[in-house]
Each structure stands twice: as C-alpha cells, then as structure tokens.
Amino acid sequence: MKLIACIKQVPDTTEVKVDPKTHTLIRDGVPSILNPYDQFAIEECVRIRDQIGDCSVSVLTMGPPQARSALMRCLALGADEAILISDKAFAGSDTWATAYTLSLAIKKIGFFDIVFCGQQAIDGDTAQVGPELAQQLGIPQVTYVEKIEIDNKNKLTINKQTEDGYQILEAKLPLLLTLLPPTSFQPEHPPMSSILKAKRKPFNIWDVETLGGDKSRFGLDGSFTQVIKTYTPPKRGECELIEDNPKEAAKKLSKILCKNEALTKR
C-alpha cells in the first residue's frame, strides 16, 4: 500500500504580525514550522503504515528550498521518503495552481492508495488545496477527518467531524482525506535517533522540468486568485464575559440584551 502526505511549511502564526502600512505579513525573524494540521496528517499516515505493514509513506511539499526542514521533520516523524517540489516557476501559486502542481507530482510517483492533507494551513486558512487536489486527481475525498481505521481488506472507516458530532463513513481506495486533529491531539517531538535516521532516508527535489505538465498552469500565471491585502480586522467594541451558573447567566444575558434593545420584553 502507498500513502502520500502533502504538507506545508508555514510561518509560526503565533509570532506573525501584519504590517499596518503595507498590509503584508511581517515574516522577518519569524520561525517557520510544519503546519500543525499536517503534523497530525503525517502522524496518522505513519500510524496506519505501522498498523498494516507492507506499506510506505511519501511526503511532499511545494515550496522554496528552506521548506526542506519541514520535510526533514516529517521524515523524523516516520515518513519513508520526501519530495520537495521547488522552482521559481511555482512562485505566486494560489490554491488551484498549487493543487495542480501537487497532482502532477503525485501522478509522477505513480501508484497510491490514500492522499493525506492537513485540513488547512495556518497561514492562509483556505482549506482549499486538499479538495482541489482530489478534483485534479479525479478521486473521492473526505474532509474534516479525525480518525481512520483500516481493516485487512483495505476498507476504511472514517470519523468525520461535523458541527453536531461525527459522521462514520466507509470508503474504498483510492481517496484523499483532509485531517483535522481532535483537541486532545499531542504532537510528537521526534527524538535524536529519529532525526539521525531521517538523514539517511531518500530526499528528492523536483523542478518544473521534472514535473512536466502545462507550464501556463503553474505559479502566478496559473492562479485564478491574487491576494490584494492582508489586514487585522478592527476591534468591534468591548467583550463582556458572563460567569455564573447557566440559569443566572441566562438571566444576566437577557437583561443586557434588553438593555441594549436587542430583545424586547413581552
């Protein structure tokens, strides 16, 4: 069985601020990290591989040369091989152009059973690349996946998070999953032995020539959308927190709503 995980290196958004004049992210001095949703995806990939045996995990990302460190982390977390898709031609890609590029890389890998993506990246928060990649690959997809079980006949049972709870779904292969970790998720921190092993695993760099494909669909040229402005929304009034037992809290809330004419007394 072949599992593929698509990951992204992102700026640590707990450290990022927006420049109020240029409306761009201030990235100087901000550390880059593996997108936390993708860390969950990788850990699930490795868990399933170890469970079923006779299976390998390839991890890939599209990004600048510095994205190597995010892939190395994935190798240290247990992935078997890494592929960095890197070329100036890919610069400025929106989610659609990114999905197209990733789909070419996956087709070049050849055979696969499941593609894992994080639900979204913490820098853009679009949650579009996974579904668009499934579209480009022509395979089914399940989003908001929290848990996956696979039986000995390769039948998947998937817990998909919904607003009300879970949907329990069954699926056949191949398919694409976008993963959303449960709140209880504790990311692993690879120890030094895993880091040393990672250095000995295959690491490939593929450029635009290696991928082939329609060059007009890469990068800025292949993008339907462009980011015009990034900004922090202005503060909208003060927040008042009501702390009490539910009955008293409801009373206080209704009083405040009446006072502000959001509710009227009958």
CB of 216 to other proteins, least distance (A): 36
Take residue 197 and report the two structure tokens written for it. 């092993």
> Nearer to other proteins by C-beta: 196 or 258?
196
Which of residues 196 and 242 has its CB atom nearest to other proteins in the complex? 196
How are beta strands 156-161 and 141-150 bridged, if at all? antiparallel
Closer residue to other proteins, CB minimum distance, 68 or 108: 68
If the CB atoms of residues 76 and 102 are measured against other proteins, the closer one turns out to be 76
Residue whose token pair is 């995010």: 70
Going from the C-alpha of 77 to that of each of 122, 185, 202, the distances in angstroms are 20, 15, 14
- Shortest distance (Å) from residue 224 CB to other proteins: 35
Is residue 198 packed enough to be buried (19+ CB in 10 Å), middle (13-18) or exposed (0-12)?
buried
**Which H or E element spans position 15?**
none
Residues that bind other proteins (CB under 8 A): 68-69, 72-73, 76, 186-187, 189-193, 195-196, 198-199
Residue in this structure with the two tokens 């070049």, named with its chain if needed: 108
Q: How far is the CB of 82 from other proteins (least distance, A)?
A: 13
* Least spacing, CB of residue 200 vs other proteins, in Å: 11
Using alpha carbons only, give the angle 122, 126, 132 rounded to the nearest 5 degrees.
Answer: 125
In the complex with other proteins, the residue whose CB is nearer, 72 or 211, is 72
In whole angstroms, the minimum distance from the beta carbon of 71 to other proteins comes to 11
Kindly state the DSSP code that residue 31 receives in the 8-state scheme: P
